[in-house]
């Protein structure tokens, strides 16, 4: 019996605010941004395993279709988070929100996915919220 290869890949995404400004230092704003990131991913059919919003960074572990490019993943997450920042009195409308650089790594196997998941949760200090019914 042949096993079908999964048509998805795991991505570890880290996006940093412009000049590392601490725009998510208010807990309610961080939670709201996390919700928006989750909703944005759900709109595209992506599975969010873990997401953590820090004062100056957003980290997420996502399962996306194999044909989605890494740049597309980052662009969509940045757009969703920037919309949150601009709708609340956190950042002036004309100011840059995020650095142009980012980190988006495709995680190859189950052991590495588990390690990234632990890293994000540990760095969040228990603040990140895993999706119920986690898939591994």
For residue 21, give the CATH number of its domain. Answer: 3.30.70.1290
CB 73 within 8 A of CB 45: no
Question: 60 lies in which domain range?
Answer: 8-124
| Number of domains composing the chain | 1
Listed residue (92, 70, 69, 66) closest to 4, CA to CA = 66
Q: Does residue 130 lie within any of the structural domains? A: no
What is this structure's pTM?
0.78
Q: Does residue 69 lie within any of the structural domains? A: yes
Check residue 80 and give its pLDDT: 81
CA pair distance 69, 118, nearest whole angstrom: 25
Listed residue (47, 80, 42) closest to 63, CA to CA = 47
Q: Does residue 86 lie within any of the structural domains? A: yes
Residues in the chain with pLDDT values less than 70: 1-6, 88-96, 100-101, 125-136
**CA distances (Å), origin 82, targets 56, 71, 92, 103, 117:** 12, 16, 11, 17, 24
């Amino acid at each position: 019996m042949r096993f079908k290869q999964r048509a998805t890949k795991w991505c570890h995404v880290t996006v940093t605010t412009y000049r590392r400004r601490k725009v998510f230092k208010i807990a309610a704003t961080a939670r709201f941004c996390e919700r928006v990131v989750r909703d944005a991913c759900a709109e595209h059919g992506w599975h969010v395993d873990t997401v953590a919003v820090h004062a100056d960074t957003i980290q997420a572990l996502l399962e996306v279709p194999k044909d989605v490019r890494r740049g597309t993943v980052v662009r969509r997450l940045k757009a969703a988070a920037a919309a949150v920042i601009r709708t609340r009195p956190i950042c002036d409308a004309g100011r840059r929100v995020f650095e142009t650089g980012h980190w988006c790594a495709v995680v190859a196997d189950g052991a590495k996915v588990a390690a990234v998941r632990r890293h994000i949760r540990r760095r969040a200090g228990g603040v990140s919220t895993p999706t119920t019914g986690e898939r591994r």
